[in-house]
Amino acid sequence: MLSKLFNRASLAVSLPQKLLIYFSAIALMIGLTIYVFMLSIMQWIEDEVNQHELEASAPFAISLFQQGARQPLQIGLHVQAFYSHDFIPEAYGDLSQFPAGFSGEVVDRNQTGLFYEIFSFKLFNKDELNAEKELFLYRSEFLLDGKIQPLYLVMPADNVELSDAEWQSINLFVLIFIGVLFLLFGFAIHKLSQRLVEPVDQLVKQLKSPAEHPNFSVPKQSAAEFSQLSQSLNDYRQQNEMMIKQEQAFARYASHELRTPITVISGAAKLQEQNDAPAFQARQRDRIQRAAHEMQHTVDALLSIVKQEKGTVSHQARRLERAEIEQIIQPLILLAQAKKIALTIDFKQAPLIKPTPAVLRMLLSNIVTNAINASDSGQIQVIVDTDHISINDNGRGLTSSQLEQQSEQYNGHGLGLLIVDSLCQRYHWQFSLKEIEPRGCQAKLTFPQLDNT
């Protein structure tokens, strides 16, 4: 039952109260232990001082008795010495029952010592002490007139010990001191636990209401780990939002790229029904074949991306050939020629790459298409080298912010920069875009060097 109670999940905001209860119980036990220990130490010191005084008085008393001093012998203000039972006051009781060499406090005629005194102690003792309680006794023997005589050194405890009022004042002071420490430590623990729990509680509230808290934050006085946690959550949220945008862009891309060839195929099929001329029929069949071929490339690319994300692709490096670049650029030549743009290839060296032909087609065709859309005339050059592929144009020279806006506002011209960058990240490529002089832009795909093994 207790195990279920302590192991039960609870809210973070309730932890300060629980910690306060736990530490209060521990502090109470420690306080009581310190109180008993201090009381014991004080009584022990008091008893030891009085006993040493009695033992130190014994040689002096023996010397005086041997010189003929009478009983009772008063030594100092509080010590009395006897060697005959007849002179011991009845209030002291029968002291002969104590053996020679005894030194200690006689709290009761049947109980002696500090142990009994501690357990019989009362903080507020209203009982009157009777005459047969609490005295210090030193029992010894000495030689007097050729005979062994007992020696009794007696010191009434009331004369040398602290009074009940003094003990009560001391105990009250100790209890107040422990109570003040208890409150101070309780306050400090409560504040500390609140400081530890507050960032967690604040992060939970921010998680529950993301619309009101677009960024995670914790108080400035929080521990460094909480600041790191909030920063990590912000980074995770940004990555998550970026992934959502990428997935939406992919969905728009797939919808557009698949809808276009389907429309072409459907239109060409309807046109075939309206004209039986062989040349016209051949042109429509050619349109259908080209649209189906483009659709096949798009589907292959999408399936390749899905396999790469699921980890089912081999990731084996392959050699990029010039023919593959020409095959990717060929469908775009007509689009470039319509705007009087020369589209050329500068194939310097064949690099090793990991993306499949379908994925590479998606990347290059969309970057080149964006370059064509950003140019009114001039030249677009595709440069292939061992560590990069760059597409240079001398068009209007769109800035990065304008291109990013174009990417976010999908206008039907391919993947856009957001998706290009996402594809590059999948294959550990780097995509960059910069202005070139005197006019135009350079889109560059940089990839790591690979071993063909």
**Segment 82-132, tens digit of pLDDT:** 988 888 888 888 888 888 888 888 876 554 444 444 444 444 444 444 445
Is the model more confident about 291 or about 14? 291
Domains of the chain: total: 3
For residues 420-429, average pLDDT: 80
Q: What is the C-alpha separation between 452 and 352, in angstroms, rounded?
A: 7
| CA–CA–CA angle 51, 166, 127 (5° rounding) | 90
Q: Specify the pLDDT at position 313.
A: 55
pLDDT score recorded for residue 122: 45
Could you tell me the two tokens for 121? 């102690």
Per mean pLDDT, which of 40-54, 229-243, 318-332 is the most reliable?
A: 318-332
Domain end marker among 138, 159, 181:
181
- What average pLDDT does this structure show over 20-43? 80
CA distance 22 to 451: 62
Spatial contact of 444 and 400, defined as CB atoms under 8 Å apart: no
CATH number at residue 436: 3.30.565.10
Question: d(Cα 397, Cα 393) in Å, to the nearest integer?
Answer: 8
Lowest mean pLDDT, pick from 279-283, 301-305, 445-449: 301-305
Q: Give the highest mean pLDDT range of 68-77, 271-280, 415-424.
A: 68-77
Share of the chain above pLDDT 90, in %: 6
Geometric angle at alpha carbon 355, from 350 and 361, rounded to 5°: 85
315 pLDDT above the threshold of 80: no
Q: Which domain holds residue 404?
A: 318-446
The last residue of one of the domains, among 275, 310, 345, is: 310
pTM reported for the whole predicted model: 0.46
pLDDT band at 70 (very low <50, low <70, confident <90, very high): confident
Write the CB contacts of 335 (distance below 8 Å, at least 6 apart in sequence): 369, 372
Q: Is residue 172 assigned to a domain? A: yes
| Strands (E) located in 16-130 | 73-75, 79-82, 103-106
Domain assignment of residue 252, yes or no? no
pLDDT (0 to 100) of residue 406: 44
Q: What is the pLDDT at residue 390?
A: 92
Does residue 341 sit within a domain?
yes
Mention every residue, 6+ apart, whose C-beta is less than 8 A from residue 110: none
Q: Is residue 376 part of a domain?
A: yes
Same domain, yes or no: 136 and 265: no
285 lies in the same domain as 348: no
pLDDT in tens, 379-420: 899 999 999 999 998 877 655 444 444 444 434 334 456 667
Q: What is the residue-averaged pLDDT of the chain?
A: 77
DSSP code of residue 28: H
Confidence label for 452 from pLDDT (cuts 50, 70 and 90):
low
Q: What is the mean pLDDT of residues 301-322?
A: 69
Same domain for 282 and 133: no
* 324 and 293 co-located in one domain: no
**What distance in Å separates the CA atoms of residue 233 and residue 230, rounded to the nearest whole number?**
5
- Cα distance between residue 161 and residue 243, in whole Å: 83
What's the rounded mean pLDDT across residues 435-448?
86
The per-residue pLDDT for 347 is 92
Q: Which of 293, 310, 327 is the last residue of a domain?
A: 310
Domain shared by 304 and 375, yes or no: no
pLDDT of the residue at 382: 93
In this structure, are 277 and 370 located in the same domain?
no
Check whether 301 has a pLDDT greater than 80.
no
- The more confidently predicted of residues 299 and 381 is 381
Residue 352 belongs to some domain of the structure: yes
Query: Is residue 108 in a domain?
Result: yes
Kindly state whether residues 117 and 145 are assigned to the same domain. yes
Residue 281 covered by a domain: yes
Decide if 57 contacts 75 (C-beta within 8 A): yes
pLDDT winner (highest mean) among 239-243, 254-258, 362-366, 408-412: 362-366
* Pair (271, 354) in one structural domain: no
Higher-confidence position of 410 and 335: 335
Indicate whether 77 and 130 sit together in one domain.
Answer: yes
Residue 68 has pLDDT above 70, yes or no: yes
Residues 6+ apart with CB under 8 A from 211: none
Clarify whether residues 303 and 374 are in a common domain: no
Distance CA 411, CA 288 (A): 25
Domain match, 303 and 334 both: no
- 137, 93: one domain: yes
Go through 337-348 and write b for each residue having 16 or more CB atoms within 10 A of its CB, e for each that does not. eeeebebeeebe
In a domain, 38, yes or no: yes
Question: Of residues 56 and 112, which shows the higher confidence score?
Answer: 56
